């Protein structure tokens, strides 16, 4: 899977269907211009342990010890590998980051009214008895310092929107 520019839109190759998701689309995004390649975890052929280690170099230690993180984070790769992205340097092929999302059921509610935030969305999406998801929540983008720049984050966010479109979701909604 790679990101390609199609008529001013960013799209994942092989996308099954398109749905409109609100948000500004920047037409100048191309993998070549940014120098990054996004690969679904389900299609990634590199070292998966390297991807697992990335957040530990970036996140504060306490984030790894919440009930939601301890239970839900490992389930992202198990249940939603097609919604997790490895980020590689296009020139060298080396891993430079990862992006994580979780499908969950918002059910027409207002995400702003949820009081359980990031932990709640992760727990809701990875629960054994989770209802059919209708929304995709971005959980994080981890980039090595050498590739951190606003255009890189925006590039990954556009890919997350495309992941939501592919699943037929009407929204990409970030918890607070």
Mean pLDDT of all residues in 150-163: 90
The domain total for the chain is 1
Q: What was the pLDDT predicted at 29?
A: 55
Domain that holds residue 37: 3-172
Mean pLDDT of all residues in 120-142: 94
Pair 50, 101: CB distance under 8 Å: no
Q: At 119, which CATH number?
A: 3.40.630
Q: Higher pLDDT residue, 62 or 28?
A: 62
Q: What was the pLDDT predicted at 25?
A: 34
**0.95 cut: is pTM over it?**
no
Give the chain's length: 176
Question: Can you tell me the distance from the alpha carbon of 134 to that of 151, in angstroms, rounded to the nearest whole number?
Answer: 28
| Token duo for residue 81 | 């590998």
Pair 40, 82: CB distance under 8 Å: yes
Q: What was the pLDDT predicted at 12?
A: 43
Which CA distances in Å does 90 have to 11, 30, 47, 155? Answer: 17, 11, 17, 14
Question: How many C-beta neighbours within 10 Å does residue 19 have?
Answer: 13
In this structure, of 22-31, 53-62, 70-79, 152-161, the range with the lowest mean pLDDT score is 22-31
Average pLDDT, rounded, for the chain: 81
Per-residue pLDDT tens for 69-104?
899 999 999 999 999 999 999 889 899 999 999 999
pLDDT at 115 over 90: no
Mean pLDDT of all residues in 116-141: 93
Q: Higher pLDDT residue, 34 or 81?
A: 81
pLDDT at 138 over 60: yes
């Amino acid at each position: 899977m790679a990101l390609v520019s199609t008529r001013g839109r960013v799209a994942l190759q092989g996308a099954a269907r398109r749905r409109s998701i609100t948000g500004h689309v920047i037409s100048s995004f191309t993998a070549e211009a940014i120098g990054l390649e996004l690969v679904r975890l389900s299609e990634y052929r590199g070292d998966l342990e390297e991807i697992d280690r990335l957040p530990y170099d970036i996140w504060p230690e306490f984030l790894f010890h919440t009930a939601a993180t301890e239970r839900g984070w490992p389930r992202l790769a198990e249940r939603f590998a097609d919604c997790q992205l490895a980020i590689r340097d296009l020139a060298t092929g080396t891993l430079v980051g990862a992006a994580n999302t979780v499908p969950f059921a918002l059910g027409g509610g207002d995400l702003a009214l949820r009081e359980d935030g990031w932990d709640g969305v992760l727990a809701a999406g990875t629960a054994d008895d989770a209802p059919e998801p209708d929304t995709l929540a971005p959980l994080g983008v981890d980039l090595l310092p050498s590739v951190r720049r606003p255009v890189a984050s925006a590039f990954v966010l556009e890919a997350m929107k495309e992941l939501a479109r592919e699943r037929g979701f009407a929204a990409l909604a970030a918890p607070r």
